[in-house]
A and B are shown apart, each in its own frame.
Chain A
Amino acid sequence: MSSIIRVSGLTKTYSSGFTALQGIDLDIHRGEIFALLGPNGAGKTTLISIICGISSPSEGFVLADGFDIVKHYRAARSKIGLVPQELCSDAFEKVWSAVNFSRGLFGKPANPEYIEKLLRQLSLWDKKDAQMRELSGGMKRRVMIAKALSHEPDILFLDEPTAGVDVELRKDMWQMVRQLREQGVTIILTTHYIEEAEEMADRIGVIRQGKILLVEEKQALMDKLGSKQLSIRLQQPITTVPVELAEFNLQLEQDGNTLSYVYDSRQEGDSIARLLRQLTAQGLEIRDLNSNESSLEDIFVSLVHEKEQ
């Protein structure tokens, strides 16, 4: 598959001496939705800022659709739309002129039909004459998306698109991202919600402390990360797990009181019901049940740990 963005050996050291990116190599495929996952301060926004031209790289290069973002910044930047993480807008500007301003800024002649279609698609049409300060946070976010799409970019960056966004808007946004992908737009989003990456992405990259830890197809990563653990506390301690329970691959904790069962939360089927029936059949009485999902934090810890080994 051809890549639409190619990041090579990208390093960013700020004048304070802080190194935000340490030799990033990354290829984004044409037409995919790519989720960049990482904790706060991992370098997600720095990476996006450099690709979009807001920061300058210290070392390395980036090609956007084959154009170097520094040498051929005009060609590169006109392909890219950016929705930044922070909601910022000119309070007294009207939605209609704000979006048309963006289109002009990106060197495109006015096209009121297209802007109208865009605003309708984002449910902003009835707000087109409203001033930015009159809009709710969610509406402002939509305007920022409209601004980013105003020049019909091939690549769209969404930096934390659903931070502080209510459930309804989040669903709308996911829907819109899928529509854009169908139209052939490549989308790169950053998030620290794993559900979001799971819901949207074709591929996922994990970044931490300025390094890309891994890039994988979503499915492969989910299989790795989507496990849940069920802890079963027994009335009486046991010394060994009965052979009849072998298919469940249970772990007996040291105190002999607790059995833990690891399963895939998305393909669990009836295994829990069978496990519980088997336990009763073996005469093991259950005192308590507790299930927990690996949080993103655990995932990072395990990923980073894995890398260090």
Chain B
Amino acid sequence: MNLYAVWAIYKFEMARTFRTLMQSIASPVLSTSLYFIVFGTAIGSRMGDIDGVSYGAFIIPGLVMLSLLSESISNASFGIFFPKFSGTIYEVLSAPVSAMEIVIGYVGAAATKSVTLGLLILLTAQLFVDYHIQHPLWMLAFLVLTAITFSLFGFIIGIWADDFQKLQVIPLMVITPLTFLGGAFYSISMLPEPWQTLTLFNPVVYLISGFRWAFYGVADVNVAVSLGMTLVFLLICLSIVWWIFRTGYRIRT
């Protein structure tokens, strides 16, 4: 295993984050704070508790997931797309590194960033809402697993995209709607049928539900199902990445 290479890629990607601190960390934290002010403090104070949790606290896991998904995807996709776009990918391709080492470097850095961001958002939330985490270790486990899964997903998008528009289209047109409709701001039991059943086809529901369970011990779907689904997405992304490197799809001509 070429650990020096993994470390070099990881460090390079992390340095990129620090160069673009405003964009990578500050702006998601700011926009999440805005959500807290609007939905948590202003509107939330007029809403009743959901499953015995105050509305402001109820939306915290959903908001963290919202940022976690979009930032994981955008960090990882940009990280691999840009070298392809600028041509500097030649160096990684000509280096004695395996596909796994490349993925660990890029995806590891992207996941580190989004986990850091998630924790920062939780800290920010403390300023607005009083909340308590019942299962901190499970919370961390869901956070890390989701960050890795969606960074892998972003990595796939970055490889697939051959222009800037394709880079944006899936996060904007697919992930954001799925997250908003995935129970970030409501419990799915509040939905009338048939929406309540249809929502179960939205994979993000399982992520948010499991994550919320770790906070408050209440969930829309069984937590074991949530964990299982998260692992299934992880496996799907891993298989696609494995296929990409085996065939050289959009990397090696």
Question: Which residues in A have some Cβ–Cβ distance to B below 8 Å?
Answer: 14-15, 49, 52-56, 73-78, 80, 82, 84, 86, 88-93, 97, 100-109, 147
Contact = CB atoms under 8 A, between A and B. Distances in A.
A104 B4 contact: yes
B253 A106 contact: no
A105 B253 contact: no
A105 B90 contact: no
Contact of B5 (A49, A90, A92, A104): A104
A97 B18 CA distance: 14
Given A88-B88, A103-B4, 18 more contacts: A14-B253, A53-B94, A54-B252, A55-B253, A73-B96, A74-B98, A88-B86, A92-B19, A101-B11, A102-B91, A104-B4, A104-B5, A104-B7, A104-B8, A105-B4, A105-B91, A105-B92, A105-B95
Nearest to B98: A74
A63 to B, nearest CB: 16
Contacts of A52: 93-94
A105 B5 contact: yes
Interface string B17-39: 00100000000000000000000
Nearest to B10: A104
Contacts of B228: none
Contact of A105 (B15, B19, B97, B252): B97
B2 interface: yes
Contact of B91 (A49, A78, A107, A147): A147
A52 B5 CA distance: 17
Nearest to A102: B91
A231 B186 CA distance: 92
A77 B88 contact: no
A93 B13 CA distance: 11
A101 B15 CA distance: 11
Q: Is the interface of B mostly helix, strand, loop or mixed?
A: helix
B12 interface: yes
B206 to A, nearest CB: 37
Interface in B82-120: 82-83, 86-88, 90-98
A101 B218 CA distance: 47
B72 to A, nearest CB: 22
B19 to A, nearest CB: 6
Contacts of A76: 96
Contacts, number: 85
A54 B90 contact: yes
Which of B86, B90, B92 lies at the interface centre, i.e. has the most chain A CB atoms within 10 A of its CB?
B90
26 contacts: A14-B253, A15-B253, A49-B253, A52-B93, A54-B90, A54-B94, A55-B253, A56-B252, A82-B91, A84-B87, A88-B86, A89-B86, A90-B82, A90-B86, A91-B86, A93-B12, A97-B15, A101-B11, A101-B12, A102-B8, A104-B4, A104-B7, A105-B4, A107-B2, A107-B96, A109-B4
A88 B87 contact: yes
A250 to B, nearest CB: 53
A118 B144 CA distance: 41
Contacts of A100: 8
A74 B2 contact: yes
A11 to B, nearest CB: 14
Nearest to A84: B90
Nearest to B102: A105
B238 to A, nearest CB: 22
Contacts of A101: 8, 11-12
10 A-B pairs with least C-beta separation? A104-B8, A88-B87, A74-B96, A77-B96, A52-B94, A107-B2, A105-B95, A78-B96, A104-B4, A54-B93
Contacts of B11: 101, 104
B9 interface: yes
Contact of A80 (B7, B15, B94): B94
A73 B2 CA distance: 12
Interface in B166-197: none
A53 B97 CA distance: 11
Given A56-B252, A88-B86, A90-B88, A107 B4 contact: yes
B248 interface: yes
B182 to A, nearest CB: 36
A9 B86 CA distance: 32
A56 B248 contact: yes
Contacts of A108: 4
A82 B90 contact: yes
A55 B82 CA distance: 19
Contacts of B12: 93, 97, 101
A102 B82 CA distance: 17
B253 A56 contact: yes
B172 to A, nearest CB: 25
Which of B5, B83, B87, B91 lies at the interface centre, i.e. has the most chain A CB atoms within 10 A of its CB?
B91
A246 to B, nearest CB: 58
Nearest to A87: B87
A99 to B, nearest CB: 11
Contacts of B83: 90
